[in-house]
Chain A
Amino acid sequence: MNFPDDTIAAVSTPQGEGGIGIVRLSGKDSFRMVLHIFNASRSRTGPDAGSRKIIHGFITDPSTSEKVDEVLVTFMQAPRTYTREDVVEINCHGGMMPLRRILFLVLAQGARLAEPGEFTRRAFLNGRIDLSQAEAVIDIIRAKTEQSEKVALQQLEGRLSAEITGLRNSVTELCVLVEAYIDFPEDEVEVPERDDMTASIKAVEDRIHVLSKSFDEGRLYRDGAAMAIVGKPNVGKSSLMNALLKKERAIVTELPGTTRDIIEEGLNIRGLPVRIMDTAGIREAHDLAEAEGVKRSLGAIEGADIVLAVFDAGRTFDHADRHVIEKVRNKRTILVINKCDIINPEFDCSESEFDSHPCVKISAKTGDGLDDLKEKIVAGLISDSAPAGQEAAAGLLVTNIRHKGLLDSALASMLQARETLVKNEPLEVTALLLRESLNSLGEIVGAVTTDDILDRIFAGFCIGK
């Protein structure tokens, strides 16, 4: 349910890969929400620095403390803003990935995804836009609604829509059981078995969970995954990239540190778009240019969805390798031991560090092991497939952020509903939570009304003493 003075948020730059992107918030809690995920590079943060000042800093995921993006944030105090409410704009590096992640963090703080044209609507309702433009405002709302409905419809392809409709029906059935029991005490309606209900709720939860989780995977299919190739100098990072791309793209020399800039290339692995970032070798830099290269490599690790950490089978595992492993410790990583075509490998991969990530032996030169590597890349990006018994949801991708949000609220309500059963709370409390869940699912595939529930009660139970 949307309320008139929720704090709202949206990406306010066009879809696609722009130079920069803006996440915008409006509403009374917008300052608080952003301050919770924003670390200014100087101590004076947020609105204290003064309304409309541009503040440099980082957006950090408060749950993992991971830096998400380097940003410029502007806090604008009501009423001198576009909507006449408190407004925050987060300028970030663009690319859909950081934009979406920041938007998600803001939503996790309690902001609501803005309805199409809602910023403009608020600007008008709060008197910021003059009466003569009322029709123009309506046009904006209309155009944006049409556009977003079109996108949402595309993203809700047949099978996905069928699965969510199925889930909605399952929850409706649960509501029917509980409501019939509550409203018709003298009509021989059976007491809903708490254990059965708990099991049904759990089954629905699992299915919603699979869908919700697919959003991250869906994002990869939509936006592409970022993969960084890192390692100490001259382990064959560029050779690996070229082998994956099957072409001579990066400059490959025997001279360590040849790659100084990050070289990006697009590639398709098993239908998954992957942007490969070849990076400068990670080591103590000898000159300024190299130092810059190393710094960028570390940045690439941070921004990547998956990292290939490359090692040279021909050389012994040394502190530089250890340093590399140190840098990828908290990242989804595949350890790649290159140059396995060498006759006398010196490399010892019994080091304990090698337990932490999957490991593949390849030869970029001969192409050996590349298929295995691709397999592991895809597996690494698309985390475990659907658990047994949820085939219906397997392979489905939720790609719309609004859908994802609604699925998550449905899931949260179901969890709580199950808890009330376990704790033996009265069923009308369970009913309340089931309805909440039903409303969230209904916002995706069409609402279920009280009349629908009553229809099913009268169709399924012989009511009327």
Chain B
Amino acid sequence: MQFKEQDFDVIVVGAGHAGCEAALAAARLGLSTCLFTINLDTIAQLSCNPAIGGLAKGHLVREIDALGGEMAHITDKAGIQFRMLNLSKGPAVWSLRAQADRAMYRGIMKATLETQQNLVLKQAMIEKIVTEDGRIRGVTNSLGISYGAMAVIITTGTFLKGLIHIGLDNFQAGRAGEFASVGLSDSLALQGFKLGRLKTGTPPRLDARSIDFSKTVPQYGDEPPSPFSYSTQKITNPQLPCYITYTNPATHEIIRSGLDRSPLYSGKIQGIGPRYCPSIEDKIVRFSEKERHQVFLEPEGLETAEYYANGISTSLPYDIQVRLVRSIAGLEDAVIMRPAYAIEYDFVYPTQVKHSLETKAVEGLFLAGQINGTSGYEEAAAQGLMAGINAAMKLKGMEPFILGREEAYIGVLIDDLVTKGTREPYRMFTSRAEYRLLLRNDNADFRLMEKGHEIGLISGSMIEKFRERKALLDEELIRLRTERIKPGLELNDSLEALGTTAITEDTLLEKLLKRPEVKYPFIREKAPASSVLSQEIEQLVEINVKYEGYIQRQVEVAAKLKKYELKKIPEKFDYKATPGLSREIVEKLTEVRPETIGQALRIPGITPAAVSIILVAVEGFWRRTAKP
């Protein structure tokens, strides 16, 4: 049937974490938006573990919040356990992680979408993108019904030609129990996109009634729980613990006995899996000397008996799954409610998209999430938000919104993808950020909220609250830099009690706080500020003072490198016609098509000498084109 139902400004294909953020951002920026999903009941599904955040991922969630995205709000509302990780380490690498009620998360996101102005939700399988002269025109669904749009954002997750493996059995599916999307993959290939294949996996879900929790160790969340979002006042859900148990030599023996029916080791699975999230069989094979591996039993929600057995993701056959689960302490009688499986899916090599997440080949077509080779809800949501914003920018005729590596993990994420590409599902780690001390969990609002406001996703009242926080911080920092404390018997006794030395003359508060032994509460007690500071501000003050030297150092390096970022390379620049570049380097540059000299510098294998030559050649190009 050929029928054109309607035109939109923006169409989003896929309603996972990327799609939801993209659709919300576009609609909130005033564009008529349609969000398509294969199944309206699995919007914002937490397909793998029921947790949001964690190292570097938590940073992403805070950044999404500071830019006006939704993930943090919903996690706060659906969260059933919150833990700040890495508290034993320095504040730059503290990271919040929450367990979420899966059904609640879905429900709240769906309600948010359904109440959003300018946004339409439709259940349909999109099979084709429609283009004209290299520009996107719209999409067509499996019934042949077409929709027009000036911008299309594709966020298909694991659905593109998804193939599920359980043992040697496999079948097409986007997720367990859901249809795969086959046509869209071919449509993208027809447009000239180079597609690859990735793999990921998930563990079995167990029935709580069949678990003996007394044989496991509970792990509770923080009390009180701290939220992700700057706008959340209080976490109201009841909080639940997770439980830790371990595999044992018997488990490992069972796994080994099933390896001959493993799709991973028999070569059935072609896609490349994430090494940071290996299946249990992979762990046993690669680390055979380890006698046990951790298993975290994570509640899937307040009103379900399902438990997620984190740590035993597998694609082994079902009979092996049952035996391996039951060999684990506490799980002797466990009932598997949903089997573990591995899934292979298509992705688009991300060097084919720009920093704005618009594809280079088709104008107005944006890609976000797993289709760009990433893994993780947070990585997906971050890209979705950026794609939504940039689709809006494009339609409004404005410059794309691009974050630098020194500004946000989001900047690192996208720059890595479009510059280096990826071979395995890309996950964020703090070690990927060269400006780790600048990109902290505690200062996401300072880094990004003004930008979010400028874009139009952060409300006036939110930004006012932020500016109040900023004023308090600045005021206190100035006070510490100017106010001195007098030496006194009582003060010196306290200092010595902390294991540091007494002071003999009037001392700047800042200098005192710089001592490793002195924390902010000491200052609060001995020389309080005129206004009462929240814990977050106190923490920011302390970090700013204690890390000043290192932070300054990173700021300076970033500022110097920024000059390379500002040197733009023309989109159609002809590297082949540039003398002095080796064939290998020409190939790399032509593949990635760096947007700036700064990006060119980060392409693996590009030498300083090559960059030197490009600098000259690009300058030549601009001067030539500037001439009448």
Contacts and interface: CB of A to CB of B under 8 A. Distances in A.
B441 to A, nearest CB: 12
A458 interface: yes
Contact of A115 (B56, B432, B434, B612): B612
Given A116-B609, A462-B286, A465-B296, A3 B561 contact: yes
Given A183-B55, A183-B430, A450-B431, A464 B580 contact: no
A124 B90 contact: no
B608 A115 contact: yes
A453 interface: yes
B511 interface: no
A412 to B, nearest CB: 13
Contacts of A465: 294, 296, 310-311
A426 B613 contact: no
A183 B56 contact: yes
Contacts of A4: 560, 563-564
Contacts of B277: 464
Interface string A1-26: 11111000000000000000000000
Interface in A433-465: 435, 449-451, 453-454, 458, 462-465
A404 interface: no
Contacts of A124: 616, 619
B362 to A, nearest CB: 29
A125 B619 contact: yes
Contacts of A116: 609, 612
A138 B579 contact: yes
A117 B564 CA distance: 18
A134 interface: yes
Given A4-B564, A138-B613, A183-B431, A131 B624 contact: yes
Interface stretch (A52-60, A184-192, A220-228): A184-192
Given A124-B619, A139-B579, A142-B580, A182 B275 contact: no
A432 B550 contact: yes
A165 interface: no
A449 B604 contact: yes
Contacts of B561: 1, 3
A394 interface: no
Contacts of A285: none
B276 interface: yes
A116 B431 CA distance: 32
Interface string A110-149: 0000011110010011000001001101110110010001
Interface residues of B, number: 55
Contact of B276 (A2, A134, A145, A464): A464
A118 B616 CA distance: 11
A5 B620 CA distance: 19
A100 B464 CA distance: 59
Interface in A137-188: 137-139, 141-142, 145, 149, 179, 181-188
A423 interface: yes
A3 B557 CA distance: 9
B609 A145 contact: yes
Given A4-B564, A463-B275, A428 B93 contact: yes
Contacts of A131: 620, 623-624
Contacts of A149: 609
A326 B496 CA distance: 53
B612 A428 contact: no
B419 to A, nearest CB: 12
B220 interface: no
B417 to A, nearest CB: 13
A427 interface: yes
Interface string B447-463: 00000000000000000
A188 to B, nearest CB: 7
A131 B92 CA distance: 47
B429 interface: yes
Contact of A142 (B91, B550, B613): B613
A137 B616 contact: yes
B557 A427 contact: no
A462 B437 contact: no
Nearest to A143: B580
| Range of interface residues on A (Cβ < 8 Å) | 35 or more
A425 interface: yes
B283 interface: yes
A424 interface: yes
A108 interface: no
Nearest to B428: A183
Given A184-B55, A185-B85, A428 B579 contact: no
B56 A134 contact: no
Contact of A428 (B56, B283, B286, B437): B437
Interface in B535-570: 547, 550, 554, 557, 560-561, 563-564
A34 B497 CA distance: 50
A142 to B, nearest CB: 4
Contact of A435 (B434, B563, B604, B624): B434
Interface of A is mostly: helix
B311 A182 contact: no
A70 B144 CA distance: 86
B77 interface: no
B287 interface: yes
Contacts of B430: 182-183, 428
A201 to B, nearest CB: 17
B619 A135 contact: no
A3 B560 contact: yes
Interface in A85-125: 115-118, 121, 124-125
Contacts of B236: none
A425 B431 contact: no
A142 B609 CA distance: 7
Contacts of B86: 182, 185
A458 B276 contact: yes
Given A429-B437, A464-B276, A125 B616 contact: yes
Given A2-B608, A182-B89, A450-B431, A462 B293 contact: yes
Contact of B85 (A117, A181, A186): A186
Contacts of A117: 612
B89 A428 contact: yes
B121 interface: no
B224 interface: no
Interface string B255-270: 0000000000000000
Interface string B291-321: 0011010000000000000110000000000
B85 A182 contact: no
A137 to B, nearest CB: 5
B290 interface: yes
Contacts of B437: 428-429, 432
Contacts of B608: 2, 115
A458 B578 CA distance: 40
Given A131-B620, A142-B613, A463-B275, A182 B431 contact: yes
Nearest to B282: A464
Contact of A426 (B92, B293, B294, B560): B92
Nearest to B287: A462
A454 B293 CA distance: 20
B373 to A, nearest CB: 14
A278 B191 CA distance: 81
Interface in B431-445: 431-432, 434, 436-437
A463 to B, nearest CB: 5
A166 B262 CA distance: 39
A432 B436 contact: yes
A464 B616 contact: no
Contact of B90 (A426, A458, A463, A464): A426
Given A134-B619, A454-B429, A464-B283, 7 more contacts: A4-B564, A115-B612, A124-B616, A135-B579, A429-B437, A463-B275, A463-B276
13 contacts: A1-B561, A115-B609, A124-B616, A141-B613, A183-B429, A184-B55, A185-B89, A186-B296, A428-B430, A432-B437, A462-B278, A463-B278, A464-B274
The 5 closest A-B CB pairs, nearest first, are A426-B90, A134-B620, A3-B560, A458-B275, A145-B609
